[in-house]
Chain A
């Protein structure tokens, strides 16, 4: 089956530093990847939609300068949290849609990255 990986699985950083999270589709090509944020015991909040080779589309209320998204290839998207602060601590989850079966609308989710900002 389709597999999406994320790296790192968890990260602890100091306030003011930047953190990059990678999302990879391991056995399929993904023209579209999604980045979500999940607070404890809550649902997923879509942050942005990332399309290969073009700028990401951010949801309302998400700061594009703070959450930089790059989708440089059909198998890799990155989310960089710039100048991280404790309120950015969260569980970040990416998902990818298979380019070939895009019409089926099935998304494959990564295992998530837990970010803790001290």
Chain B
């Protein structure tokens, strides 16, 4: 089946620390991969995406590379800020008789000043 597994949170970092949030997936077919961010009390915002192997999605200092050989799409940022505190969702879309988004459980990130 299709699924997304994210590292459990919460992740707590100090400002300017390096961030990695692991994400692996299983999929029948060739999925597109996404990272979404949800700030407190808000809906989801698309952070970045990649649609084929070895593609690197990047936005706002965050980046993730589509690794087909390891079925992974880890999110990284070199220097986090307090404003990055949010919940991050890894997701994939496959065409299973319609394009459905499958979300990981989400990883909560706290960044301390």
Contacts and interface: CB of A to CB of B under 8 A. Distances in A.
- Where chain B touches its partner, the secondary structure class is strand
Contacts, number: 51
Interface residues of B, number: 22
A60 interface: no
Contact of A110 (B43, B98, B106): B43
B77 interface: no
A105 B93 contact: yes
B89 A112 contact: no
A46 interface: yes
- Where chain A touches its partner, the secondary structure class is strand
Interface in B10-31: none
What is the interface residue range for chain A against chain B?
20 to 34
Interface stretch (B45-53, B60-68, B78-86): B45-53
Contact of A105 (B42, B44, B99, B108): B99
A57 B101 contact: no
Interface of A: 6, 32, 34, 41-44, 46, 49, 57, 93, 95, 97, 102, 104-112, 114
